[in-house]
Amino acid sequence: MKKPEVGWVMQDGTPWPGNDSRDHPEIIQAYLGSGGALDVEGKELPKLVYVLREKRPGYNHHKKAGAMNALIRVSAVLTNAPFILNLDCDHYVNNNKAVREAMCFLVDPFMISRVLKNDSRVTTSWRSRR
């Protein structure tokens, strides 16, 4: 979709504050849609939460680190999860079990010693590096 000449506008006709990609306030928009999932209280959860962090000319916004910081802050407000998984467009996971194993390690850090002890393939190479 191409940006209109006059820029994007809000539903009430006012200019969208994110029209200037290098100078805008923070923006959080929740899109509910229809037939979405419900939370534990029966309230509809958003299908998409759009987060745009503040940018100002001459201010270092730390690129991906700044975006990750914004996502963590939003996640802390929306959930009480013990961790957050962030996969960006340039990330790729070769092992489909790696994410699960990482989450298990975060939940129980002592599990890694049991996993290494019981896996002969890992234990041999792991011990040789010590």
The token pair that represents 64 in the structure block? 């991906």
pLDDT digit string (tens) for 26-57?
Answer: 777 777 777 777 778 888 877 777 777 778 88
Whether the per-residue pLDDT at 111 is higher than 70: the answer is no
Task: Say whether 28 sits in a helix, a strand or coil.
Answer: strand
Instruction: Domain of residue 66: give its range.
Output: 1-85
Feature table: binding site: 63-64, 88
Number of domains present in the structure of the chain: 2
Residues 19 and 45 reside in one and the same domain: yes
pLDDT of the residue at 69: 76
Residues 26 and 76 reside in one and the same domain: yes
Feature table: binding site for UDP-alpha-D-glucose: 63
CA distances from 28 to 25, 52, 113, 115 (A): 10, 6, 42, 41
Residues 103 and 67 reside in one and the same domain: no
Residues 77 and 127 reside in one and the same domain: no
Feature table: binding site for Mn(2+): 64, 88
pLDDT digit string (tens) for 90-108?
Answer: 777 788 787 777 777 777 7
Distance between CA atoms of residues 105 and 82, nearest Å = 12
Residues 81 and 103 reside in one and the same domain: no
Calculate mean pLDDT across residues 104-119.
68
E-strand stretches of the chain: 27-31, 48-52
End residue of a domain, out of 52, 69, 85: 85
Top-confidence residue, 101 or 112: 101
